[in-house]
Amino acid sequence: MKILLLGSGGREHTLAWKLSQSKKLTKLYVAQGNAGTAQIAENIDISPNDFEKIETFIIENQIEMLIVGPEEPLVKGIRNYLQKNKELHHLIMIAPDKNGAELEGSKDFAKEFMKKNSIPTAKYKTFTKDNYQEAVTYIKNHSLPIVLKADGLAAGKGVIIPTDYITAESTLRTMLLENQFGEASKKVVIEEFLAGIELSVFILTDGKNYILLPEAKDYKRIGEGDTGLNTGGMGAISPVPFANHTFLEKVEKQIILPTLEGLRNENIDYQGFIFFGLIDVKGEPYVIEYNVRMGDPETEVVIPRIENDLVEIFEAVGNRTLDKIELKINPKTATTIMLVAGGYPEQYEKGKEMTGWENLKNVIPFHAGTTQKEGKIITNGGRVLAITALGNDLEDALEKSKNGADKIKFDSKYFRKDIGYEFL
C-alpha cells in the first residue's frame, strides 16, 4: 500500500510512526512533514491546501490511500475535489467530505446539527452584523461568563469567554463589526458557559460502522495549573481517569450514535475521524465542539495505545468493513509533554538547534515543529516536540515524559511540568 499523509505536526509524525510499522505499507509520503517524519517516510514539499498538486502527485506515484491530518483541506473540500477525478475512484481517503467537515468548519452548523439531533450541548444563539443590536441585548440578558465563538476556522483563537458585560460587548463588536477573524467571524455563536472538566473522545467511521478509540485529555493553557493563554495543546494523557464505563456509555448513547444518525439523515457519507470535544458537567457529557480530524497532541497519546495495524484499520474504512476490526487497546497509560519555544503562543523564535537526542530513554519523541538544516535538527514552530511515554500508571508515564523533556535541549525551551496534575 502506497500512502500519502497530509500535515506536518506532532499528529502527523505519530500517524506516520504507526503506519510505518505496518507490514502492508510499501511507501509512505508526508506533505510536508517535519524532521521526525523525514526519518521514517519521504517528505514532499506540497501544501496540504494545494489540491491540484496533490492530485497530480497521487496519480504520478500511484498512491492508494490518502490520510488528511489537519482540518483546513477538509473544510475546503479535498475529498470532493479528488472524487471528481475518475482515475482516483479507488483511492481510500481518511477524510470526510466538505459537508461532513462543516461540523468543524462552522460552529453555527454544528450547533444547529446538535439541536436537531437532541445532542447535549450548551444553549446558544447565532448572530450576524444584521442583527447586531439583538446580539447586544441577548448578551445583556445573559448570565456570566458568556461564550462568544467565531463561526468559522480561526486557528484555535476564535473562542472568547468574557467574565464581564463590557468585555463581552467589545468582543462582539470586534468580531462582528470589525471582522476580527475575517470571514470566520461573519457569524458569531453566543452560548452559555458550561462548568466542568473537559475530555476528548474519538471515533473512526467508514460511513456505516465505527470504532471507538481511546479517550484523552489535553492541556490547552500555556501556564501550570491551567493558567494563561490558550495554545494548540501543551500535553495530553490517555486514558482519562474519570471517563469510566458509565460515563463513556452515556457518551456513546447520547452523543456518538445520534451524531452518526444525524449525518446519515443529512446524507453525509462520512469516512474519517470524529473528535468529540466534551465537557463532563456533574457526570453528564456535553459537546463543546466537533473536530473532523484527530487532535494534536491527543494523537500522540491515543495512537501509541492502539495495538492493531493502522493500515488495516484504514483499509477497513475504505471497504466499509470496520465492523470486522477488533480493536486492541494497550491498557497502559500514555502521556505526552509538549516542548515549546519560549514566547509561544505569542512571539517566538525558530531555527534553534536541538540536542540531547542520544539521552532519551523509554520515550517516543514525536516531532511537531522541527526541520533539518545542514544535518542538524532545528526548531521550526511554536510547538516543537511531544515527548510521549507509556507507563504502568499515570505517575509512571509522566515521570518518563518529564525525564525526556529535560533531556532535549534548545534555546528558550519551555514545557509544563504539571500535565495530569489533577489526577495525581
Minimum distance between the CB of residue 293 and ligand AMP, rounded to whole angstroms? Answer: 13
Convert residues 151-180 into a mask of x (bound to ligand AMP by CB under 6 A) and - (unbound): -----x--x---------------------
Task: Kindly state the cell numbers that stand for 413.
Answer: 525551551
How far is the CA of 67 from the CAs of 7, 28, 59, 356, 380, in angstroms?
A: 9, 11, 15, 32, 23
- What is the Cα–Cα distance from 149 to 298, expressed in whole angstroms? 22
**Contacts from 315-318 at CB under 8 Å and sequence distance 24+?**
315/1, 315/24, 315/65, 315/92, 316/206, 317/92, 317/94, 317/204, 317/205, 317/206, 317/271, 317/272, 318/65, 318/92, 318/93, 318/206, 318/271
Pick the binder of ligand GLY from 106, 291, 379, 380 (CB under 6 A): 291
Q: Which residues contact 372 (CB under 8 A, 6 or more apart)?
A: 35, 38, 378
The two beta strands, 210-212 and 197-205, are antiparallel
Q: Which of 4, 58, 95, 147 binds ligand AMP (CB under 6 A)?
A: 147
104 scored as a contact of ligand AMP (CB under 6 A): no
Query: Alpha helix (H) ranges present in 283-393?
Result: 299-302, 310-319
277 binds ligand AMP (CB under 6 A): yes
Choose the one of ligand AMP, ligand GLY, none that binds residue 25, judging by a C-beta under 5 to 8 angstroms depending on kind. none
Q: Name the segment binding ligand AMP (CB under 6 A); options: 60-68, 187-195, 300-308, 368-376.
A: 187-195
- Specify whether the CB–CB gap between 40 and 370 falls below 8 A: no
Residue 296 partner contact from ligand AMP, ligand GLY, none using kind-dependent CB cut-offs of 5 to 8 Å: ligand GLY
Does residue number 289 form part of the binding site for ligand AMP (CB under 6 A)?
yes
Per rule CB under 6 A, is residue 296 in the interface with ligand GLY?
yes
Closer residue to ligand GLY in complex, CB, 104/315: 104
Helices (H), 127-253: 132-140, 165-172, 245-251
Minimum gap (Å) between residue 94 Cβ and ligand GLY: 16
Whether the CB-CB separation of 405 and 337 falls below 8 Å is answered with yes
Q: Is 69 in the site for ligand GLY (CB under 6 A)?
A: no
- List the one residue out of 260, 339, 272, 315 whose CA is nearest residue 71: 272
Coil, helix or strand for 31?
A: strand
Q: Could you say whether residue 191 binds ligand AMP (CB under 6 A)?
A: yes
Binding range to ligand AMP, per CB under 6 A, among 188-196, 339-347, 371-379, 399-407: 188-196
CA-CA-CA-CA dihedral for 104, 106, 111, 115, to nearest 10: -100
In the list 30, 122, 240, 311, the residue contacting ligand AMP (rule: CB under 6 A) is 122
Interacting span for ligand GLY (CB under 6 A) from 239-247, 290-298, 360-368, 379-387: 290-298
222 binding ligand AMP? (CB under 6 A): no
Question: Of 56 and 118, which has the nearer Cβ to ligand AMP?
Answer: 118
* Residue 35 binding ligand AMP, by CB under 6 A: no
Footprint of ligand GLY (CB under 6 A): 218, 233, 291, 295-296, 298
Footprint of ligand AMP (CB under 6 A): 122, 147, 156, 159, 191, 193-194, 198, 220, 277, 288-289
